[in-house]
Structure 1
Amino acid sequence: MTEQSLSLIDEAALLDVAARLATVVQKTPSTKPLTIYLVGELGAGKTTFSRGFIQAFGHQGKVKSPTYTLVESYDLPLWQIHHFDLYRLADPEELEFMGIRDYFDSQTIILAEWPQRGKGVLPEPDLKIVIDYADEGRAMTLSALTTRGRELLDKL
């Protein structure tokens, strides 16, 4: 497993890392979906990271937290990004009922907050990003869990 640890002094630094990762993803084409797990306490910055990532792909509108809807989808020119927030998920089987497998296409990126609540149903991650509180800022650890994840992290 390849890993990078970063200290982020503020929200702008978090958004910058998200945008840089989005740029690397766009420059590293693949025929397989990309799955990124976002792990951290409430308010740590998972949705902020997702906003920066999605906007770096060219989305102009708001990026809403999918806390109540479970998923918000963004149809972009070359990609489709599905932002999941599984905080309120009672059972992973609920994902099967909502047709989660329909979200996994070749030009798809899955951003999954609280992925442990979808264990066994969500695809295994290419990247796992842990965001923790650290004094006034945040500590971020990016872990590559697949060959594709390592390729992306090496280019970041």
Structure 2
Amino acid sequence: MKEKNFLIYTNDPIQTKHLGAFLGKVGHEGIVICLEGDLGAGKTTLTQGLAASLHCGSASSPTFNLMNIYEGDVPIYHFDLYRLNSEDDLYEIGFYEYVQEDGEIIIIEWPDRFPSSIPEDNLYIKIYEQENNRRKITVTLNGTKYQNQYEELKKLCQSLQ
């Protein structure tokens, strides 16, 4: 299957949160979302928009907890792989059990640390920091499971441009 992706830009944190809200709208029945980007790129800001859209309260970076769980309309399991050293660490935090579940939203920050451990089906979002809070964001569909969510997200994102 040919890789599918699209590019969007957000001009400020509010638009980045709107992208997160769009992800909540399309992923409310369960989805795996991978977030890649440098420290401070906007991964947590995007997650905050997603969590707020699903009435999950305030989301924060799970860097020191390794995983946060947000309860709301849909459970969100938010992993941060930055501080992990090996795939053994993934087993210890129950990563593989969570990512095999359906019906939840799984957010994986720093998926590039353990690419072979990431589910084949996912929406892979890479955030590039630019000047003046502007973000260049690529959204890539991996696999076919989330094809409909990808297409719906692509349409919703046209309003950010």
TM range (shorter): 0.7 to 0.9
Instruction: Give the RMSD, CA atoms, in angstroms.
Output: 1.6
1:3 aligned to 2:5? Answer: yes
36-45 or 111-120, which moves further after superposition? 111-120
Aligned to 1:149: 146
CA distance in 2, matches of 1:41, 1:89: 16
Aligned to 1:93: 88
Matches within 5 A, 1:53-68: 53-60=50-57, 62-68=58-64
Normalising by structure 1, we get a TM-score of 0.87
Aligned to 1:14: 16
CA distance in 2, matches of 1:40, 1:23: 22
CA distance in 2, matches of 1:123, 1:148: 11
Number of paired residues? 149
CA distance in 1, matches of 2:88, 2:112: 13
Percent of aligned pairs with the same amino acid: 31
Q: Which structure 1 residue ranges, 4+ long, deviate > 6 Å from structure 2?
A: none
Give CA-to-partner distance per residue, 1:28-87, whole Å, 9 cap, x none.
x4xxx5211101111000111111111111113x2121101100011224x221101111
2:121 and 2:144 in contact (8 A); partners too: no
- Structure 2 residue runs without a partner (length 5+): 154-161
1:133 aligned to 2:129? Answer: yes
Aligned to 2:72: 76
2:77 and 2:105 in contact (8 A); partners too: yes
1:119 aligned to 2:119? Answer: no
